């Protein structure tokens, strides 16, 4: 029995982000998956688990206590959309700036297309500007 798109999305946020499991990235993300919207706007999409892991490590380093709550989830066919609240403390230097030890709270949305029980493509729009403002940092260009 395969998981439904909503179950995969919820597992992604819980296992990958809340539990910090890199192994879950390999299980839940297709080898050739494309993730849009993770880097500055001019950057290319992130492809595959090995392309995603540096982004994951950078954020987990910057926010070792990161927690993502899925507030709402809507599914249509093989596609799932989620609205999330992200909280954490800037406890590491993973954003390219010294840790401020300030708490952050941002919201965002993601959409993922599921294929063969894995995320095949995802689109992300999180309020990174607010994150940088809360930390008193200048956002990357």
What CATH number is given to the structural domain containing 49? 3.10.450.50
Tokens read off for 30: 């297709």
Give the pLDDT confidence score for residue 137 in this predicted structure: 86
pLDDT in tens, 63-95: 999 999 999 999 999 999 999 999 999 999 988
Tokens read off for 122: 């995802």
pLDDT in tens, 15-43: 999 999 999 999 999 999 999 998 665 57
Say how far apart CA 39 and CA 78 lie, in whole Å: 25
Say how far apart CA 87 and CA 67 lie, in whole Å: 5
What single DSSP character describes residue 137?
-
pTM confidence score: 0.92
Residue of 73, 78, 67 lying closest to 109 (CA atoms): 73
Mean pLDDT of 120-126: 95
Total number of domains constituting the chain = 1
Are the C-beta atoms of 40 and 141 separated by less than 8 Å? yes
Tokens read off for 133: 């403002």
Mean pLDDT of 93-120: 94
Q: Is residue 140 part of a domain?
A: no
Are the C-beta atoms of 127 and 106 separated by less than 8 Å? yes
- Cβ count within 10 A of residue 48: 16
Q: Is residue 141 part of a domain?
A: no
Give the pLDDT confidence score for residue 90 in this predicted structure: 96
Q: How confident is the model at residue 54 (pLDDT cuts 50, 70, 90)?
A: very high
Tokens read off for 111: 């959409």
Domain range holding 100?
5-135
């Amino acid at each position: 029995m395969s998981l439904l798109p909503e179950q995969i999305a919820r597992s992604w946020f819980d296992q990958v982000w809340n539990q910090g499991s890199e192994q879950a990235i390999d299980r839940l993300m297709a080898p050739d998956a494309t993730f849009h919207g993770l880097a500055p706007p001019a950057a290319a999409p992130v492809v595959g688990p090995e392309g995603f892991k540096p982004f994951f490590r950078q954020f987990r380093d910057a926010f070792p206590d990161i927690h993502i709550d899925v507030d709402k989830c809507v599914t249509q066919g093989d596609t799932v959309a989620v609205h999330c609240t992200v909280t954490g403390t800037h406890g590491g230097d993973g954003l390219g700036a010294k840790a401020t030890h300030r708490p952050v709270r941002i919201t965002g949305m993601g959409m993922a297309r599921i294929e063969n029980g894995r995320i095949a493509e995802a689109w992300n729009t999180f309020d990174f500007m607010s994150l940088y403002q809360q930390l008193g940092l200048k956002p990357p260009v």
